[in-house]
Structure 1
Amino acid sequence: MLPEEDLLNVILADLKRTVREYTTATTESACPSVRQMFTQLTDSTLQLQGQLFQLLSSQNMYTAPSKAIRTEVDKKLQEAQQTQQQLQQFTQQRTAQMSSGSQAPQANMQQNAGNHTYS
């Protein structure tokens, strides 16, 4: 049997993996009730993971990774915010096009479909 510290670290890793899986399931759920269920599972698993991390950390059973450089964190945050803004703009544009009944994007796709050469 594994020593207690190793076993707890395996459980911690499994909780992290489970959160990733629940998050993926949440983002892929089309049904609102299923999406809500996975959101709740994600939240409760995150709480459990946080509690286990705190326990391991307080007992010096978990070695945290080295601290990130603040400028790098700020840079990545800014990139993520820009990506989110671009995605929101794109989504709003597409929603507006679909609402207005615009067939231009579909017509362009059909027109371009005949322009491809296959080797």
Structure 2
Amino acid sequence: MADEDLMNTVLADLKRTVREYTTAATESACPSVRQAFNNLTMDTLRLQGDLYTHMSQMNMYTAPSKALRQDVDKQIQTAQQTQQKCQQFVQQKTGGVGDYSHNPSVTHQQNNSHNSYYM
């Protein structure tokens, strides 16, 4: 198997592993198990980032095109609205008791640079 094919396979596996660890962390009821999966997730993300950087430097992986700032901001705004609706739903169902009894306002700080793209 060629090095590039092998590296692409490993990169895809790391991405899949991150998804699996994230799922495990979100489904963990035990704080220590949740923390272990959070740590595994972060370690795997670092490995994935290192491999991507190495592959990119060797012209084995082309980066996706740049995203327009307005598109990313719209996605962030949609995610924040969804989060707020979820928090309100949980508050309604729990009567304001528990971890979600407070309603933290999620603010989005815009980057004031003149670059209209995120990298």
> 4+ runs of 1 displaced by more than 6 Å?
none
Instruction: Give the TM-score, by structure 2 length.
Output: 0.75
The superposition leaves residues 40-73 of structure 1 with CA deviations (integer Å, 9 ceiling, x where unpaired) of: 1001000110111111111111012222233222
Considering Cα pairs closer than 8 Å and 6+ residues apart, tell me whether 1 or 2 has the greater RCO. 2
d(CA) in 2 for partners of 1:4 and 1:79? 40
Larger Rg: 1
Q: Unaligned regions of 5+ residues in structure 1, if any?
A: 100-119
What is the CA RMSD across the aligned residues, in angstroms? Answer: 1.6
Structure 2 CA distance for partners of 1:81 and 1:98, relative to 1, 3 Å: closer
Count residues in correspondence.
Answer: 98
Higher share in helix:
1
Does 2:73 match 1:71?
A: no
Instruction: Give the TM-score, by structure 1 length.
Output: 0.75
The superposition leaves residues 3-61 of structure 1 with CA deviations (integer Å, 9 ceiling, x where unpaired) of: 10110111001000000000001111111111111111001000110111111111111
Q: Unaligned regions of 5+ residues in structure 2, if any?
A: 99-119
d(CA) in 1 for partners of 2:27 and 2:3? 36
